[in-house]
Amino acid sequence: MTLNINDSLTGAISQALKELYGIEQQPSGVVLQETRRDFKGDSTLVVFPYVKQARKSPEAVAAEIGEAVKKALPEVSGYNVIKGFLNFEIADSYWLKFLAETAGKPLYGITKSDANTAPVVVEYSSPNTNKPLHLGHIRNNLLGWSVSQLLAAAGANVKKVNLVNDRGIHICKSMLAWLRYGNGETPESSGMKGDHLVGKYYVEFDKHYKDEVKQLMESGVEEEQAKREAPLMVEAQQMLKRWEEGDKEVRGLWEKMNGWVYAGFDETYNRLGVGFDKVYYESQTYLLGKELVQKGLDMGVLFRKEDGSVWCDLTGDGLDQKLLLRKDGTSVYMTQDLGTALLRHNDFGAERLIYVVGNEQDYHFKVLKLILGKLGFSWADKVYHLSYGMVELPNGKMKSREGTVVDADDLIDEMEKTAEEMSREHGKNDELSNDERKHLYHILALGALKYFILKVDPTKNMLFNPAESIDFNGNTGPFIQYTHARIRSIVRKAGDLCDASYEHVELNEKERGVLKVLHSLPGTIIAAANAYSPAMIANYAYDLAKSFNSFYQDTPILREENAQVKAMRVSLCAAVAEALKNTMNILGIEVPERM
């Protein structure tokens, strides 16, 4: 039996077109779609593209193809024609065989990845070590993790990497502010997470810097000049230059404060349930980037201006000139990204290099690919920017320098608190121990957060409303989690009924509907992986949960008197639970066994 009846259908249709009309159409070129709900059937072929060559009416072409396919495939129990739409009806025997042999098996729908193939390298997170992770980082981390899971589920060999932006002027701002205003404060003395403490001084720098700019402007200095010449900014630039020159004092402070931040990041990553196969640091890659800049100068594809800065002229490519080294010799983001791309390619021999970065960096990655190509790297076209939209709150955008961000840790805390309140209100934790309740609140909170963010197409901006995300009804993570727990309760009560025979059962409309959604899972995973879209998986999980609940409300399961029908329905429950578990796992969401 074919895992997917559509494979058999497209092959039979291809053969029928050739034999009936001499039309050469490969099976891969035959397009089937799900039959409309107001038509009877399971899969539909639109025959209009073949009418001209067949020289017959759409109805006649559809009827002839339908008859040929029905004769060729015993799985096709019938067909009907509505104008140019040929609707195939699939026999109950196929659906029952599919349920018994395929659906419900461990990791149904998942293709095992091949560790021997060239890996797909997915970079996400990429935080700066001058501030804690916030809501924008949450979308990045959840999207990067889920895309990695999705690609692996489609059979790819995936490597997850993180590039920590641990050097640069923004880092020096936090360092300088801590030296000026910190009075030796540490995570231990303050009771603050290290990343929060360092972020506090990034905000502190901005406050004092703005005061200096204001004072200069009041003395008659133009705004742009004041921003450049404010004493704090000048000193921060000097600190960056001392860092690049290897000054021991600056490097020592940098290592200490970054150490605080890394410990804070790791705690947040653990709470979010994300991780990496390898972590790169800008401080270790920017020098390789500088070597590539020198290579570009030697090749003549880069040029140096009179002030000593180095640029790449991309006007011939429809862009502009791009700075690669400042006049004082310090590097910019593009410098280290060139070095990191080369290092990553050499480390993994990657089949693709995917960067999960917000859409405000679209231009940056166009430039990166162009410069890599100009430097002679044939793999430049393997660089792919997974550009995603911004996350906004009901009260607007977030600004790190002004301290108006939604902190990731605070958000998770609030989500867990809300999950506890909602669970208690709905009486969904009465039979659990205290430890089980605490774990349930955590996975419900993370399920709500992850699902709410991942169900939105990555390319779109989104408005995050925490109150809407935690709801046991509607298109939410907790709704799907509760559906899974309900199903697992049914299966536990049924015992060994899944092993009973049911090959001669007649399916009702709701049972068939659930089986059709289950049947589409492997194809959905492949399509979602090709589109880098966890949203397609999230919406599939919701559709499956909705379809199951419709079946559950109208159909007796454990109270069914016919033993074969009962066994089939319990098996169907088990298959849905497995599919929900697998799809939610792709989203990084744990589903509870009971609640």
CA distances 528 to 120, 156, 305, Å, are 16, 13, 46
**pLDDT one-digit tens code per residue, 401-446:** 444 567 889 889 988 988 888 888 776 666 778 888 889 999 999 9
Residue 595 has a pLDDT of 81
What residue type is assigned to position 399 of the chain? K
**Tens of pLDDT along 269-294?**
999 999 999 999 988 888 899 999 99
The whole-angstrom separation of Cα 379 and Cα 352 is 9
Share of the chain above pLDDT 70, in %: 96
Confidence of residue 22 (pLDDT cuts 50, 70, 90): very high
Give residue 471's pLDDT: 80
pLDDT band at 1 (very low <50, low <70, confident <90, very high): very low
| Partner residues linked to 32 by β-bridges | 45
Alpha carbon separation from 517 to 154, 235, 451, 539, 570 (Å, rounded): 18, 62, 20, 12, 17
CA atoms within 13 A on the CB side of 564: 8
Q: How far apart (Å, rounded) are the C-alpha atoms in residues 209 and 219?
A: 16
DSSP string, 435-452: HHHHHHHHHHHHHHHHHH
- The C-alpha atoms of residue 584 and residue 554 are separated, in whole angstroms, by 25
Decide if pLDDT at 557 tops 60. Answer: yes
pLDDT one-digit tens code per residue, 569-589: 999 999 999 999 999 999 999
CATH annotation of 5-90: 3.30.1360.70
Instruction: Check: CB of residue 51 under 8 Å from CB of residue 84.
Output: yes
- What is the percent of the chain with per-residue pLDDT over 90, rounded to a whole number? 80
Helix (H) or strand (E) holding 384: strand 383-388
- Sign of the dihedral defined by the CA atoms of residues 346, 348, 354, 357, in that order: negative
Q: Which two tokens stand for residue 400?
A: 């790190």
Q: How far apart are CA 289 and CA 324, in angstroms?
A: 9
- What CATH number has the domain spanning 408-586? 1.10.730.10
pTM metric for this prediction: 0.90
pLDDT tens digits for range 315-335: 999 999 999 999 888 888 899
Q: Which residues contact 485 (CB under 8 A, 6 or more apart)?
A: 591, 592, 593, 594, 595
Non-local CB neighbours of 58 within 8 Å, separated by 6+ positions: 47, 48, 51, 83, 84
Residue 424, pLDDT score: 81
Shortest CA distance to 3 belongs to which of 511, 518, 509, 498? 518
Specify the CATH class of 124-392 in words: alpha beta
In angstroms, rounded to a whole number, what is the distance separating the alpha carbons of residues 385 and 423?
A: 40
Report the mean per-residue pLDDT for the chain: 92
Q: Confidence class of residue 397 from pLDDT cuts 50, 70 and 90?
A: very low
Q: For the segment 498-539, what is each residue's pLDDT rounded down to a tens digit?
A: 667 888 899 999 999 999 999 999 999 999 999 999 999 999
Residue 50: is its pLDDT beyond 80?
A: yes
Q: Output the pLDDT for position 233.
A: 96
Enumerate the domain spans of the chain: 5-90, 124-392, 408-586
Closest CA to 126 of 19, 321, 282: 282
Q: Are 521 and 540 in contact (CB under 8 A)?
A: yes
State the pairing for strand pair 120-123/352-358.
Answer: parallel
The tens digit of pLDDT for each residue in 250-274 reads: 999 999 999 999 999 999 999 999 9
Using only C-alpha atoms, what is the Rg of the chain?
Answer: 29
Task: Give me the phi and psi of 407, to 5 degrees please.
Answer: -65, 135
Q: What is the pLDDT, as a whole number, of residue 213?
A: 96
DSSP 407: B
pLDDT of residue 3: 55
